[in-house]
Amino acid sequence: MLNNDIVAGFDDEKDDSLKIRLEKIPEAPRCLMLTLTGYIDTYNSNFFQKRIQKAIESGFVRLIFQCGSLNYVSSTGIGSFTTFLKTVKPQGGDLVLLDIQPKVYEVFQLLGFSQFFNIKDNLPDSIQFFNSDKEEEEKPSLFPKVVACPICYKKLKALKAGRFRCSECKSILAIDEAGQVLLG
């Protein structure tokens, strides 16, 4: 199936530095897997944003980004993923980064964004994430939670348990499931 068959006009614009292949995920309603090949930087991020926005406008708000062939993401590219997340969340959607390469994940971590995104190792886990949304929403959650950095006392908002970097003093922090902040 061609990209234009899934999202009308998707392939009207192309960029050799980033190829995007679309695949509907029938097991999860309004879900689309986007296989990314190449890199996302300042120069092609506008192209990337326009293509993904076209998919979102077509009703796909559950996005799985297959990143196994994505060699590089700049801070501008990470900003694009953040924009997509802010766009789909109010529509009941979310996004998953799948099969992310260690050097690309490192950029997400260094910029403090790894805790904002759902990162999965395989497609079945990604699909399960979307199919279990309703069950998770019913359980009361401790997150998002505002915590204080134990080093500089800057107030930080944690969306979920995990490791991240303080935006003020750059210390690496860990927040456990109980909401306790630890160093490292």
Buried b (16+ CB within 10 A) or exposed e, 87-102: bbeeeebbbbbbbbee
Report yes or no: 101 and 71 within 8 Å, Cβ to Cβ. Answer: yes
Write down the pLDDT at residue 10. Answer: 93
The whole-number pLDDT of residue 135 equals: 45
**Two structure tokens written together for 147:** 């915590």
Task: For each of the domains in the chain, give its residue range(s) and CATH number, in order of start.
Answer: 3-139 (3.30.750.24), 140-184 (no CATH)
141: confidence class by pLDDT, cuts 50, 70, 90: low
Query: Residue 160 has which token pair?
Result: 């979920």
74, 80, 125, 183 from 171: Cα distances, Å:
22, 25, 31, 8
Q: pLDDT digit string (tens) for 44-80?
A: 999 999 999 999 999 999 999 999 999 999 988 888 9
Question: Buried b vs exposed e over 157-184: b needs ≥16 C-beta within 10 Å?
Answer: ebeebbebbbeeeeeebebeeeeebeee
Q: Is the pLDDT of residue 137 over 80?
A: no
| Cα–Cα distance, 34 to 95 (Å, whole number) | 11
Res 119: pLDDT: 87
**For 108-136, how does the pLDDT look when each residue is reduced to its tens digit (9 = 90+)?**
787 777 777 888 889 999 999 988 754 44
